Amino acid sequence: MPLQNPPAPRHELHCHLDGSVRPGTVAELARAQGVPLDGPVRELVTAPARCGSLGRFLTYIDVPLSVLQTPEALRRAARELVEDWRADHVVYGEVRFAPQLHGERGMALDDAVRAVAEGLAEGRAATGVRTGLLLCCLRHQSPDDSLAVAEAAVRHRGEVAGLDLAGDERLHRARAHREAF
């Protein structure tokens, strides 16, 4: 029997990759990479409804970020995000991430961008969900870091839809990052 009121198609326009990794994926990647977890993974990666501050909220991204330090992990997270969007009736989704945060084990900016773009492409092919990719400069980092991210966006302009400036606006002004934009 067909649904009488099918869910309306949705558009996801502000989704951070690091904050959208499935808890099960975080647990599997941590186990495979030998990354210790200090408690139940769901508690470590799921922020409460009321965090109190952006700074506290961002601590819930630390664990996913620690396991997204390889191209394979980034590709998987991006692909699974698109699958999750499809299950949530999203027909277009934009994901943003800061590629400069994924170099703890030596991954270059371009490799991180390429891995996420490949994961999004795999997800699109499997689900039909249209996607956009935005790269994030971070307010608390140097203007040179932001310029490097902007240059990566230009190098990958066929895959990257835009550039973002993320972080606490109260603590870090945008003016220092003007050149990147």
Answer yes or no: is 142 within a domain: yes
Answer yes or no: is 30 within a domain: yes
Answer yes or no: is 126 within a domain: yes
Answer yes or no: is 5 within a domain: no
In tens digits, what is the pLDDT along the chain, a chain of 181 residues? 566 787 889 999 999 999 999 999 999 999 999 999 999 999 999 998 898 888 888 889 999 999 999 999 999 999 999 999 999 999 999 999 999 999 999 999 999 999 999 999 999 999 999 999 999 999 999 999 999 999 999 999 999 999 999 998 888 899 999 999 9
- Output the pLDDT for position 45: 93
- Output the pLDDT for position 9: 92
Answer yes or no: is 4 within a domain: no
- Output the pLDDT for position 1: 59
Answer yes or no: is 27 within a domain: yes
Measure the CA–CA gap between 91 and 82, rounded to whole angstroms. Answer: 10
Single-letter amino acid code for the residue at 11: H
Q: 10 Å Cβ neighbour count for 96?
A: 22
pTM beyond 0.75: the answer is yes
Measure the CA–CA gap between 155 and 113, rounded to whole angstroms. Answer: 10
Residue that the structure tokens 């307010």 belong to: 139
Answer yes or no: is 118 within a domain: yes
Q: What is the CATH number of the domain that holds 57?
A: 3.20.20.140
Answer yes or no: is 141 within a domain: yes
Domain assignment of residue 176, given as a range: 10-180
The total number of structural domains in the chain stands at: 1
Supply the DSSP string of 42-67, one letter for each residue.
Answer: HHHH---S--SSHHHHHGGGHHHHHH
- Output the pLDDT for position 55: 80
- Output the pLDDT for position 2: 65
